[in-house]
Amino acid sequence: MSVTLRLLDRADSEIAKLPRNMRGAVWDFMHKFRIDPSAPGLRFKALKDGGGKGTGERLYSGRVTDDYRALLLHLGDEEYLLVSVKHRRDVYTNLDRVSYTINRVTGGIEYIDLSTVESRVNDTTAPSAEQGPAVAPAPRSYPLFAAYGDAQLLDLGVSPVLLPLIRRITTEGELEGLIEFAPQLTSEVLIELFSGRPVEEVLEYVTRPQATADDVDPEDYRAALDRPATIVSSEDEAVQGALGEGFARWQVFLHPEQRKLVERARNGPARVSGGPGTGKTIVALHRVRHLAARAPAGGKPILLTTYTKNLAKDLSDRLRELGGQELLDRVEVAHVDAVVSTVLNENGVRGARPIADRQVVEQWRAMLAELGEERWTPEFLAEEWTEVILGQAVNSRAAYFRVRRPGRGQLRRPDRDAIWQLVERFTKRLDDLGLTTFLQRAERAARLEMGRDIDIRAKAAQRDERGGAPNLHFEAGSGGLLRHRYRHVVVDEAQDLNPAHWMLLRAMVPPGPDDMFLVGDTHQRIYENQISLGSLGVNIRGRSARLTLSYRTTRQILGSAIGLLKGEVYDDLDGGAEALDGYRSILSGARPRLGAFRTWDEELDGVVAQIRAWSEAGEALSSIGVSAPTKDMVTDVLGALGRAGVTAVEIGREGGPRDAVRVGTMHRCKGLEFQHMCVTGIADGLLPRHVQGSAKQMERQRQRDRSLLFVAATRARDTLVITHHATPSPFLLPLRVD
């Protein structure tokens, strides 16, 4: 008789603390148990004394090794949940202190071993002075949560079983001990209250998003299992395979909010935003797997795309980790400019060499000089062409007469007419020189793909008229019929794509359920692409959601990084404003540090000394990242580390030694993360860069530069050091005041 056995996430954390070989033994046990729980070697039996109130018969034990036993909850029928692994001698001691219940707010299963939690609380001492608690520890005698009534805490979703212990907590150290084995929601609520967030906000940002809409039956464990608040592995055998060898927790255990976003069916394009490290990429990857599992067999019905090539490679690697080659075979993973190239190549558009923005201005300068045209500067025309004409996909003179040009001053009709003629002349000139820009290519590809979309619709309409089934949908192996390329498009780093990219992607999938899924954070926009999705045919209204819990960064680093953005207003990709409220973390660590130096050379010495100190403290070089504002400064950092005998490689040029410090421009650090991060060169003039341009352009540049600092700072998991020389960047003011 085979059964289903899942693994509770907290049990997994507990297993991680057991001797190394226990992981393999537990997976072995799970495998055998699934096939036949009654196999004699497993010694599967009920623990009659255990259980929560009135449910004493649910707890079972099974033999993992001679010394260790798994504790299992019977959820109903053939369904079991592995909740703990204990030493044999501890199974029966304190069995009455083991509790399992269904949380009345989330409807999720909560397993709590009070003796384990209590001993962790007692073991933990207050953090050292160096660690610097976010809030000074309260005097020993004063309970941290005295200000909150029991009913208040229970309404926030705190586990009732833990209330007596919570009442005794007086230091941050004890709190850290408690949350290690407390249920997810209890931990999140307590940390937020401890950080000083008002109850109403905790309710709004933490509890409500995890609350269930169901009427919770406290005895129905089978129903509770299916709710996202029960954080368990899937029943899938493949998960067990993945678990065997160094699996990562993100592959198996999703936060309840993440899981909801992965599984929710939608009627059209959906967008997930969220602060740095909240798992947007993880959600995108799981979403791809979810969609792939539901798509008809054959072909590659899903496109997974992002802005840069190195991030696309990373997505592809992680998708393989999540679902193996089998999943990768069903998904096209490519950065968006590669998607552009595919469309252009297929349509026979070849040959032109893409040039950078700087060269575009030079080409304008050369042409205006040849024409003796002096009414507008090359910079102005380059911007007008890039931002207004290509940026808003204006493709006719008539459309250019109508287009809105916010922040770019007035242009009368005759001026627009003259500029349009100059633009036509300019694009012909580039063509003749065999040159193009990435934006031009994207725009061309978008137009081609939109033409294809129109053909598909026309053909579908004809078939419809003739009585055939209308078929707008992607179909693998469609026998030569014109079809949309994909059934679903999933986009990571959505904030960086330009309007032409969106029009291209929109035209690649038929509008309909689950057609597009976008994840991104406009606070991390570091390229010049400001858009409004609605006007590009990607209608996300009513299908937006936000992740707020950071899995990467400590709350000390997150708090400081958010402080860096104060005073800026960010958009929500759809004409509205994006808020930063509610971003949080339950991880704790040292406050970020600032390092001030007189010259760049001295700063380099300081960076080398910092890295040496980490290394001498036993940290692997590969856990350290260094960013610098410019490519030349990256070269300087690499040189200084090399001279000091510290192995370092440039990000994007990996392939050398594995145990090496990674060094890259701030742009290159996008999407990456490091245990320890050194953000160097944050000096005035370097960040923000001093550039010339219209007021609007300079404002955007400043916002992008600020975002760049935000991105670099939030790559740090545990430690963040920001350094500068000469005059510090004005962006650092909040940190310096702090």
| Binding flag, residue 714, ligand ATP (CB under 6 A) | yes
41 known ligand binder? no
CB of 681 to ligand ATP, least distance (A): 21
309, 311, 416, 521, 635 from 664: Cα distances, Å: 15, 14, 42, 21, 9
| Binding flag, residue 552, ligand ATP (CB under 6 A) | yes
Phi, psi of 719 (to 5 degrees): -125, 135
CB of 520 to ligand ATP, least distance (A): 8
CB of 314 to ligand ATP, least distance (A): 9
Which of 250/600 has CB closer to ligand ATP?
250
Which of 675/694 has CB closer to ligand ATP?
675
Using DSSP, state whether 363 is helix, strand or coil. Answer: helix
Which of 187/524 has CB closer to ligand ATP?
524
Burial of 371-388, coded b for 16+ CB within 10 Å and e otherwise, reads: eeeeebebebbbbbbbbb
Which of 314/605 has CB closer to ligand ATP?
314
| Binding flag, residue 585, ligand ATP (CB under 6 A) | no
| C-alpha to C-alpha distance for 381 and 694, rounded to whole angstroms | 12
Extract the tokens encoding 112: 């709590």
Judge contact between 556 and 591, C-beta under 8 A.
yes
280 known ligand binder? yes
55 known ligand binder? no
| Binding flag, residue 282, ligand ATP (CB under 6 A) | yes
Task: Identify any residues that bridge with 624 across adjacent strands, giving them in sequence order.
Answer: 676
Residue found by looking up tokens 């627009």 in the block: 416
Taking CB under 6 A as the criterion, the residue among 207, 281, 560, 588 binding ligand ATP is: 281
- Measured on CA atoms in the order 93, 97, 101, 105, is the torsion positive or negative? negative
Which residues touch 60 (CB under 8 Å, ≥6 apart)? 44, 45, 46, 47, 71, 72, 73, 74, 80
CB of 317 to ligand ATP, least distance (A): 13
| Binding flag, residue 210, ligand ATP (CB under 6 A) | no
Q: In what order do the strands lie in the sheet with 516-519?
A: 331-335, 302-306, 488-491, 516-519, 270-274, 544-547
| Binding flag, residue 259, ligand ATP (CB under 6 A) | no
| C-alpha to C-alpha distance for 682 and 732, rounded to whole angstroms | 8
Which of 440/553 has CB closer to ligand ATP?
553
CB of 260 to ligand ATP, least distance (A): 12
| C-alpha to C-alpha distance for 198 and 210, rounded to whole angstroms | 18
Within 353-437, where are the H helices? 357-371, 378-383, 397-402, 413-432
Judge contact between 564 and 709, C-beta under 8 A.
yes
Look at residues 385, 401, 370 and name the one whose alpha carbon lies nearest to residue 436: 385
| C-alpha to C-alpha distance for 396 and 447, rounded to whole angstroms | 13
| Binding flag, residue 249, ligand ATP (CB under 6 A) | yes
Look at residues 259, 252, 162, 281 and name the one whose alpha carbon lies nearest to residue 210: 259
Taking CB under 6 A as the criterion, the residue among 258, 495, 544, 554 binding ligand ATP is: 258
Stretch that binds ligand ATP, among 152-160, 236-244, 278-286, 395-403 (CB under 6 A): 278-286
| Binding flag, residue 428, ligand ATP (CB under 6 A) | no
Stretch that binds ligand ATP, among 23-31, 253-261, 443-451, 591-599 (CB under 6 A): 253-261
Stretch that binds ligand ATP, among 205-213, 247-255, 473-481, 696-704 (CB under 6 A): 247-255
207 known ligand binder? no
Fill in the DSSP letter of residue 135.
S
CB of 495 to ligand ATP, least distance (A): 9
281 known ligand binder? yes
Extract the tokens encoding 178: 């408690």
Taking CB under 6 A as the criterion, the residue among 52, 274, 559, 625 binding ligand ATP is: 274
Element (H, E) at 635: helix 631-643
CB of 459 to ligand ATP, least distance (A): 39
Stretch that binds ligand ATP, among 168-176, 273-281, 474-482, 507-515 (CB under 6 A): 273-281
Nearest 5°: CA angle at 391, between 483 and 529? 95
| C-alpha to C-alpha distance for 413 and 237, rounded to whole angstroms | 67
What would the DSSP string read from start to end of 314-350? HHHHHHHHHHHHHHHTTEEEEEHHHHHHHHHHHTT--
Taking CB under 6 A as the criterion, the residue among 250, 380, 486, 517 binding ligand ATP is: 250
What would the DSSP string read from start to end of 2-13? --EEEEBHHHHH
Cβ neighbour number for residue 274 with a 10 Å cutoff: 23
Taking CB under 6 A as the criterion, the residue among 58, 69, 280, 591 binding ligand ATP is: 280
CB of 180 to ligand ATP, least distance (A): 15
| C-alpha to C-alpha distance for 185 and 207, rounded to whole angstroms | 7
Look at residues 324, 318, 265 and name the one whose alpha carbon lies nearest to residue 290: 265
Which of 437/524 has CB closer to ligand ATP?
524
275 known ligand binder? yes
Site string for ligand ATP, 323-352 (x = CB under 6 A): ------------------------------
| Binding flag, residue 276, ligand ATP (CB under 6 A) | yes
Taking CB under 6 A as the criterion, the residue among 23, 197, 255, 546 binding ligand ATP is: 255
| Binding flag, residue 317, ligand ATP (CB under 6 A) | no
Using DSSP, state whether 87 is helix, strand or coil. Answer: strand
| Binding flag, residue 625, ligand ATP (CB under 6 A) | no
| Binding flag, residue 278, ligand ATP (CB under 6 A) | yes
Taking CB under 6 A as the criterion, the residue among 277, 323, 391, 595 binding ligand ATP is: 277
Which of 673/684 has CB closer to ligand ATP?
673
| Binding flag, residue 629, ligand ATP (CB under 6 A) | no
Taking CB under 6 A as the criterion, the residue among 176, 332, 387, 521 binding ligand ATP is: 521
Taking CB under 6 A as the criterion, the residue among 189, 254, 319, 683 binding ligand ATP is: 254
270, 452, 680 from 284: Cα distances, Å: 11, 27, 31
Taking CB under 6 A as the criterion, the residue among 100, 111, 247, 253 binding ligand ATP is: 253
CB of 186 to ligand ATP, least distance (A): 17
Stretch that binds ligand ATP, among 39-47, 252-260, 436-444, 719-727 (CB under 6 A): 252-260
Which of 287/724 has CB closer to ligand ATP?
287
Q: Using CB under 6 A, which residues numbered 432 to 471 contact ligand ATP?
A: none
| Binding flag, residue 221, ligand ATP (CB under 6 A) | no
| Binding flag, residue 551, ligand ATP (CB under 6 A) | yes
H, E, C per residue of 526-557: CCCCCCEHHHHCCCCCCCEEEECEECCCCHHH
CA 236 to chain centre: 25
Q: How many CA atoms lie within 13 A of 621 on its CB side?
A: 15
Which of 279/595 has CB closer to ligand ATP?
279
Judge contact between 712 and 679, C-beta under 8 A.
yes
Residue found by looking up tokens 């004699």 in the block: 40
Taking CB under 6 A as the criterion, the residue among 173, 499, 592, 671 binding ligand ATP is: 671
696 known ligand binder? no
Using DSSP, state whether 615 is helix, strand or coil. Answer: helix
Query: Total residues contacting ligand ATP (rule CB under 6 A)?
Result: 21
274 known ligand binder? yes
Where is the binding site for ATP, in residues? Answer: 274-281
Q: Which stretches of the chain bind ligand ATP, using CB under 6 A?
A: 249-250, 253-255, 258, 274, 276-282, 521, 524, 551-552, 671, 673, 714
Where is the binding site, in residues? Answer: 274-281
